[in-house]
Structure 1
Amino acid sequence: MKTKITILFAILFISFSFSQTTEIDKPNENSVDVKSPQSEPMGYNRVEVPPLAPNCKAKWKSEKKQKCTREFINNYINRKLNTDLVSELGLTGIFEIDIAFTIDKEGKTKNISATGGPEIMNQNAVEIIQTLPQLSPAMHNGELVEVFYKVPIAFSIL
Structure 2
Amino acid sequence: MKRTKRLQKLLAISIFSISLLFVSCKSTSEPTKKIESELIMKINAVQEQVMAQGNISKEEEQALLSLCSIILHDDGLANFSPDKRMILKDVDIAPIYNGCEELSKKETLKCFKNKVSTFIKREFNLSVSKDLNLSESKQVDAFFIIDENGSLTGMKVRNSEVTIQAEILRVLRKIPVMKPAIHNGQSVSVLCSIIVEYGNEIEIKVVYIPERPEN
The answer to whether residue 123 in structure 2 is matched with residue 63 in structure 1 is no
Q: Which has the higher contact order (CA 8 A, sep 6+)?
A: 1
Is the partner of 1:93 in helix, strand or coil?
coil
What is the SS of the residue equivalent to 2:199?
Answer: strand
SS of corresponding position for 1:146:
strand
3-state DSSP of counterpart to 1:92 = coil
- Contact 1:101–1:112 under 8 Å retained in 2: yes
CA contact (8 A) 1:86 1:92 kept: no
Which of 131, 135, 142 is the matching residue for 2:185?
142
Amino acid at match of 2:96: L
Q: Please tell me the residue identity of whatever aligns with 1:124.
A: E
CA deviations 1:62-85 (Å, max 9, x no partner) are 110000010000000111112211
Q: Which residue of 2 aligns with 1:118?
A: 161
Identity across aligned pairs (percent)?
A: 20
Q: Which runs of 4+ in 1 moved over 4 A?
A: none
Higher Cα Rg, which structure: 2
Aligned to 1:22: none
CA contact (8 A) 1:95 1:117 kept: no
Which structure is higher in strand share?
1
**C-alpha separation in 2, matches of 1:105 and 1:48:** 14
Aligned residues: 120
Distance change in 2, residues 1:124/1:131 (3 Å): same
Query: d(CA) in 1 for partners of 2:134 and 2:199?
Result: 10
The two structures have a TM-score, normalised by structure 1, of: 0.70
Output the TM-score relative to the length of structure 2: 0.52
Which protein is richer in helix relative to its size?
Answer: 2
**Structure 2 stretches lacking a partner, 5+ long:** 1-81, 202-215
Q: CA-atom RMSD, angstroms?
A: 1.8
Deviation at 1:144, TM superposition (A): 1.0
Give the CA deviation at 1:123: 1.0
